[in-house]
Amino acid sequence: MKTFVIRGVAGDSIIYTGASLKKMSDFVPSPESGSSPESGSLMETVVITDHRVWELYKDSFPPFPTIKTGQGEKIKNLSTIEYLYDEFKRLGVHRQTFIMGVGGGIVCDIVGFAASTYLRGLRFGLVPTTLLAQADASMGGKNGVNFHGYKNLIGTFNQPEFVMIDPEFARTLPKKEILCGMAEIVKHAAIMDHGYFSFIDAHYQQALALDNGVIKRLIHDSAAIKSAIVNADAREKGQRKKLNFGHTFGHAIEKTTAISHGQAVSVGMALAAKFSVEKGFLEPEDAARLSDLLQKIGLPTTLDLDKERVLEALTKDKKRDGDAIDFVFLTRLGNAAVKRISLGEAQRFMDGNR
C-alpha cells in the first residue's frame, strides 16, 4: 500500500492506494486522534453509499449504520443533501460522529458536502469505487452539488481525512465507467506528464482489459499528479485550475446532451486542444495525438452540438468572472497554461467548431 498526503487549509488528507474495503474499520480514527488510524476505541461512524455498491459489496461493509442513496447525476442536488440531513438527525449524528462515503464521484461529492455542512462540519473519509473517483474525484477536497442542472454551483473546499483506494473495484465496473475514468486519467497526463501520456498510449488496451498492474499504475500516477497540484494550490487560485482542462467546454456539453461526464470531458479536451492550436500555443501534431488516444480508448472527440445551448451553459460556469473565464490551454503534451479569455472569444471559437 502506497500513500500520498494532500495538505489542506483545515488539515491533511492521506491517500492510501491499494487499501481494501474489508479493512475500512482499521482506518476509522479514534475520537482523540487526528487523521491517522490508531488502535483503541473507534469513533461512532455512519456510512453513506448507493444502492448498487451496497448490493455488490454489502458483505464487505463493517457493521456501521448505513444510509443508502440513489445513483446518477440526477441525485447530485440539494434534495439528496436534505435527505442525508434527515437521516443524520434520525441516527443521532453528533459532532463526534465520523462519516464514511463509499461510492463513485457523485457519492464522494455529496458525502463531502453533507459532512462539511452538517453541524458546521463533521470529520469524514472516502472509499471511491469507480475509476474516475479513484483517479480524480475523491481527492482534493472539492465537494459540491448541482443546482438547476448546472454543475457544482453549490459546494465547499474541505478535505476528507483519508481516501482508501481499492483497485479491485474496477473488476465490477461497466465499460462506460472505465471510460469515464480513462478520460480523467488522460487529462492528468496531458496537463502534467508527457511520460505518463506515453505510458497510457502504449498500454491503453491492457487498461481497458483491466490488467491489474496497469490499473494500479494509472491510479497511482494520477493520484500523485492530483495530490501534487492540490498541495501547490488548495483553493484553486492558480495551478489547480489546470485540472479543469477539457471541463469548461465539457461541463457545458454534459449539461446540454445526454452523454456521460467522461465522454463530455473527452470532447471538451479535443476542443480545448484545437483551441490551443488556433491560439498558437500547441503544435497540431500534439493535438492530433491527444485526439487519437482518446479515440483509441473509445471516447468521442467530436459531437453534433447545439452551439447556442452550449454557449448559454458556458455563461453559468462557476469559474466565470464577469465576461471572462480562465481557460486551460495545452502548450505541449504534458504541460498546460491557464489564460483568461472573454466569453466572446470562446463563442467565436465555437462558431467555427460545431
**Residues carrying an active site annotation:** 120, 142, 184, 226, 236, 240, 244, 247, 251, 261
Spatial CB neighbours of 103, under 8 Å, sequence gap ≥ 6: 48, 49, 50, 53, 69, 111, 127, 128, 129, 130, 133
**Consecutive H or E run containing 307:** helix 307-314
What is the bridge-based pairing of β-strands 324-332 and 320-321? antiparallel
- Residues with Cβ within 8 Å of residue 64, at least 6 apart in sequence: 45, 46, 47, 100
Q: Which cell numbers hold the place of 232?
A: 501547490
Q: Which residue type, as a one-letter code, is found at position 277?
A: V
Provide the residue type at 297 as one letter. I
8, 234 Cβ separation under 8 angstroms: yes
Q: How far apart are the first and last CA of the chain?
A: 45
Question: What is d(CA 323, CA 2) in angstroms, rounded to the nearest whole number?
Answer: 44
Q: Which residues lie below 8 Å from residue 126, measured CB to CB, with a gap of 6+? A: 100, 101, 102, 108, 111, 112, 133, 138, 160, 162, 163, 164
Contact indicator for 160, 199 with CB cutoff of 8 Å: no
CA distance 312 to 39: 53
> Coil, strand, or helix at residue 98?
strand
